[in-house]
Chain A
């Protein structure tokens, strides 16, 4: 027996780890509100490195794009090219600064329209897998960010915080298939749940078949899920499908916020009003 275990110890270890993984998945799915201390530690440890690499890659990409625009000028005259390069570089920096300034101004303006505690955060990393949609931001519990806080941009809803460490947090995007936001169609007030569909954006589910939903309709948060304030834009209806049998219809939603390239976000703590609304409509609450 001992000999068998010794000879097959690697396979037996792997088998045990497979079982442990399944138990972890099961526990994680059942109690997604509980935080994992090891994952939190990893998130916090990697944060400075992620910020460093993210900034360096951003700067490199920006420099590369400036270089590409300068190729034609270089061919004309070497001296002129150098001068243009210098000017382009400064102009690029200025444009970058201006764009950042503009984005921050919009964020500040948007922030003033919101009630409750808000926090501006920078995106420091993205999901390491294409099957999930999440972001890492550079603000955590130390800055007052908690699990379940809404994450918004001036263009619309981004997602909500699902894990925090001292100085970082993980944000589940509205396009992730684990996400669900209680929403209404602004024109007809039809209510449903906007769930993530990964690369396809989002879908609005549980819409009554008789409800009036048309392509181009704008969809906003209902404020009833205990996370997002009421009236925050989520996106626009891109398609409506009534092919399914039964009482419901499904609408494809194109998110308003540029989730692929977003750089700064606003983390918003739920106000008492939002929390009360969430408690009142518990059965319609989104997936954690």
Chain B
């Protein structure tokens, strides 16, 4: 329950930053995806059905605040979770560098998946320009932000686990 609350709070914080703070920073319209970092974290450390559901919810929450059709980001997040989960089962991705690379790749994959879905289901006007302009910046910033966020999440999870054990 406490772990669930931890992820819920992290989701709310990430959503708030993405929908308010990022728009004030001089990132040239790019919006680094903090929810994606949470999704990668779930794929690496939450190998449960709850982790998969959590990833879906992250995307759904993003869809709810976006001008997009509901389900676009939910699909992309579920896919990213699956890819990260399968990767972490087969490859050793427990050091900081591999996690940074994983977040970078996950960000690129997510953008490509969303763009592909938009191209299939909706209109593509201006999509390629925006994608080419922002994808790399967003992926680099998300990758750069991932070590402190991962460390913070890991530390909080550890405290929660210790408290649960003590109780």
Do chains A and B stick together as partners? yes
Residues of B1-54 whose CB lies within 8 A of A: 12, 15-21, 23-24, 29-31, 33, 35, 47-49, 51-53
Closest to A26 in B: B121
B129 sits at the interface (CB 8 A): yes
Instruction: Verify B118–A131 contact, CB threshold 8 A.
Output: yes
> What A residues does B23 contact at CB under 8 A?
126
A173 and B67 contact, Cβ closer than 8 Å, known pairs A131-B131, A200-B129: yes
Residues of B111-135 whose CB lies within 8 A of A: 111, 114-115, 117-118, 121-127, 129-131, 133-134
Instruction: Verify A22–B49 contact, CB threshold 8 A.
Output: no
> What B residues does A15 contact at CB under 8 A?
82
Most buried by B among A42, A50, A177: A177
Interface residues on B, range: 35 or more
> What B residues does A14 contact at CB under 8 A?
52, 55, 78-79, 81-82, 85
Q: Give the shortest distance, in Å, between A181 (CB) and chain B (any CB).
A: 13
Can you list 29 A-B contacts (CB < 8 A)? A10-B85, A13-B49, A13-B52, A14-B55, A20-B74, A21-B74, A22-B75, A25-B121, A26-B71, A38-B64, A39-B63, A39-B64, A43-B65, A46-B16, A49-B16, A50-B20, A125-B19, A126-B20, A127-B67, A128-B19, A128-B35, A128-B62, A129-B66, A130-B29, A131-B114, A131-B127, A177-B125, A199-B129, A199-B130
> What B residues does A61 contact at CB under 8 A?
24
Instruction: Verify A25–B48 contact, CB threshold 8 A.
Output: no
Closest to B133 in A: A199
Instruction: Verify A11–B86 contact, CB threshold 8 A.
Output: yes
How far, in whole Å, are A61 and B25 apart by their CA atoms in the complex? 9
A279 sits at the interface (CB 8 A): no
Contacting chain B: which of A87-95, A97-105, A113-121, A132-140? A132-140
Instruction: Verify A129–B20 contact, CB threshold 8 A.
Output: no
Residues of A1-43 whose CB lies within 8 A of B: 9-11, 13-15, 17-18, 20-29, 32, 36, 38-39, 42-43
Interface residues of B (CB under 8 A from A): 12, 15-21, 23-24, 29-31, 33, 35, 47-49, 51-53, 55-56, 59-75, 78-79, 81-82, 85-86, 111, 114-115, 117-118, 121-127, 129-131, 133-134, 138
